[in-house]
Structure 1
Amino acid sequence: MPPTTSTILRAVFRRQLEQLRTTRLPRSAPRRFQSSNSGPKPSASETAKAPSSPAATPAQQPVSIWLRLGPLTRAGQAYARSQRNRPWATQIASALAIYFAADISAQRISGKEYVPERTVRNMVIGAVSAVPCFIWFVWLSKSFNYGSHIVSIGVKIVVNQMIFTPTFNTYFFGSQALLAGDSLADTWDRIVRTVPISWMNAWKLWPAVLAFSFTYIPIAYRSVFSGAVAVGWQTYLSFLNRQAEIEEEVAHQKSPVAALPTVEAATLKLEQKRPIAA
């Protein structure tokens, strides 16, 4: 039986399809081999030893100890943000808190009855000096930076102790006397009594504080660190000022002639000079 037309067409079609497959297979096979096997696969040990991606490298860098203190770090970061945004207002608020705590502590140490007026005077003095002190220490941080870190720290300490410390102590004790209603003579006497001894004692504390601050503490947190130390230092200054006030009161009590009016004092002297009648 002769083959039909449809049978012939199917045979021709199959033969053409087989030719297409045989011609495309060598071309497509290497592509599939290259796309699926671009190179030898690393073993499990090589994969474990392979370095991490660049995104994970910063996480492996050592973190500063100041960033690992939990709530203290967050409080310090909040303070640093406030100082960057509102530096003067932040310094004034910090000074008010420091001088308030210092005077409360000084009055408790003295054992006398609490005097609110003294606390108010102390806070006013601190608020007025906050911005100048902040400007001074920013200038000191940016100045006297030499090739040797030790020389830079030494010069900063000497400049601070020779210029800033006596100036600030004179302002502090003088303002205390003036705000208390003392005369210029009494104010000068207060300065003479307190500034030299406070300046000598400042050499025992602030050089170490400044050296540690300029060496280890970032500039954004130096105000916090100095403020914490200043609470104790201002307590000492307030206590020293109170001791000077007590000495002045005792001195006035021992010289009643000086406290009398001029006419009464002269009469008392004349009566003392009269000879006693026989």
Structure 2
Amino acid sequence: MPPSTPSSMILRTVFRRHIEHLRISRIPRRFQSQSTTTTTTSVPKPNEAAKPPAVDPVPVGGTPAAAPGFWSRLGPLTKAGQAYARAQKNRPWTTQIVSALVIYLAADISAQSIGGKEYVPERTARNLVVGGVSAVPNFMWFVWLSKHFNYQSHALSIGVKIVVNQLTFTPIFNSYFFGAQALLAGDSLAETWDRVRRTVPISWLNAWKLWPAVTAFSFTFVPMEYRSVFAGVVAVGWQTYLSYLNRQVEIEEETKAAESSSAVEKAALQVNMPRNAV
């Protein structure tokens, strides 16, 4: 059979191009670019490693976040919060001490007004000392808590932070609060221990009713720079409760002391009566 002539090869080439043109023309226009793109990009490069799909980062408790729109629409409260955030950034320890003094002052005045007794300035002074000394350690603790126990699951992060805070910080702080109150009031070490023993368990149990919800809300919705303000507002009510509980225990101790003193006086009178009669 003779070899193909150049003319026959040209005819076959033209025929193939015509058939290809007819095939492409039957495809809708909007799909033509996609089909050509698919043919050029569907084959991966041999040396190109497969990349994992991009995933949005999961927000965790210690991740600083920009203030959401809600916090920027509170008018004067927003301006006050921004001023507090600037002060917190420039002078964190001073800001925390001043904030603690304001919180403890408001809490003690509220607690004394609830008790219905005459206002005692010495109690307010003791509360200010207790609050001022604990301000910086409290601040450092929550900064440390924000930076740790951050997992891929936001719910797990919040849950662990709450459990760690309630099992460590809360009983230690409550022991310090009631113990310092007793020592500053002039109680002995034995009396101080009795005060701690009677107040810390009940205050720790009641803390589970409030602070887990406050912590979860704060780490989830409140930006980093405003968490101290938010916690401070809640702490006014909590410190009012602690001050009130401390005052109730003080009243019980004073009542017991008065009853004991009265019993001693009666016993002394009974012992002395026969001698006087003689």
| Both structures adopt the same fold (TM-score exceeding 0.5) | yes
Gaps of 5+ in 2: 1-66
Separation (CA, whole Å) in 1 of partners of 2:235 and 2:195: 22
Q: Which moved more, 1:246-255 or 1:165-174?
A: 246-255
Shift in CA distance, 269/188, structure 1 to aligned 2, threshold 3 Å: farther
Separation (CA, whole Å) in 2 of partners of 1:134 and 1:63: 23
Separation (CA, whole Å) in 2 of partners of 1:270 and 1:117: 38
User: 1:252, CA displacement in angstroms?
Assistant: 1.2
2:70 counterpart residue number: 65
Separation (CA, whole Å) in 2 of partners of 1:82 and 1:63: 20
1:166–1:199 CA contact under 8 A, matched in 2: yes
1:179 counterpart residue number: 184
Shift in CA distance, 78/177, structure 1 to aligned 2, threshold 3 Å: same
Separation (CA, whole Å) in 2 of partners of 1:118 and 1:234: 13
2:221 counterpart residue number: 216
Shift in CA distance, 142/182, structure 1 to aligned 2, threshold 3 Å: same
Separation (CA, whole Å) in 2 of partners of 1:93 and 1:74: 19
- The amino acid across from 1:74 in the alignment is K
The DSSP-based 3-state class of the residue aligned with 1:254 is helix
For residue 249 of structure 1, the aligned residue among 232, 244, 254 is 254
1:233 counterpart residue number: 238
2:161 counterpart residue number: 156
Q: What are the equivalent positions in structure 2 for 1:117-196 lying under 5 Å apart?
A: 117-196=122-201
- The amino acid across from 1:251 in the alignment is K
- The amino acid across from 1:209 in the alignment is V
Q: Does residue 204 of the first structure (1) align with residue 209 of the second (2)?
A: yes
Q: Structure 1, residues 144-201: CA drift from partner, whole Å, max 9, x if none?
A: 0011111110100000000000000000000000001111111111111110000000
Q: Does residue 80 of the first structure (1) align with residue 96 of the second (2)?
A: no
Gaps of 5+ in 1: 1-61
TM-score, normalised to structure 2, is 0.71
For residue 107 of structure 1, the aligned residue among 109, 112, 125 is 112
1:7 counterpart residue number: none
1:252–1:259 CA contact under 8 A, matched in 2: no
User: Which structure's relative contact order is higher, taking Cα pairs within 8 Å and 6+ residues apart?
Assistant: 2
What is the RMSD computed on CA atoms of the aligned residues?
A: 2.1
1:107–1:239 CA contact under 8 A, matched in 2: yes
Separation (CA, whole Å) in 2 of partners of 1:123 and 1:193: 23
- The amino acid across from 2:85 in the alignment is A
Percent of pairs with identical residues: 72
The DSSP-based 3-state class of the residue aligned with 1:114 is coil
1:89 counterpart residue number: 94
Shift in CA distance, 185/75, structure 1 to aligned 2, threshold 3 Å: same
Shift in CA distance, 130/63, structure 1 to aligned 2, threshold 3 Å: closer
User: 1:75, CA displacement in angstroms?
Assistant: 0.5
Q: Structure 1, residues 102-158: CA drift from partner, whole Å, max 9, x if none?
A: 000000000000000100110110000000000000000111001111111010000
TM-score, normalised to structure 1, is 0.71
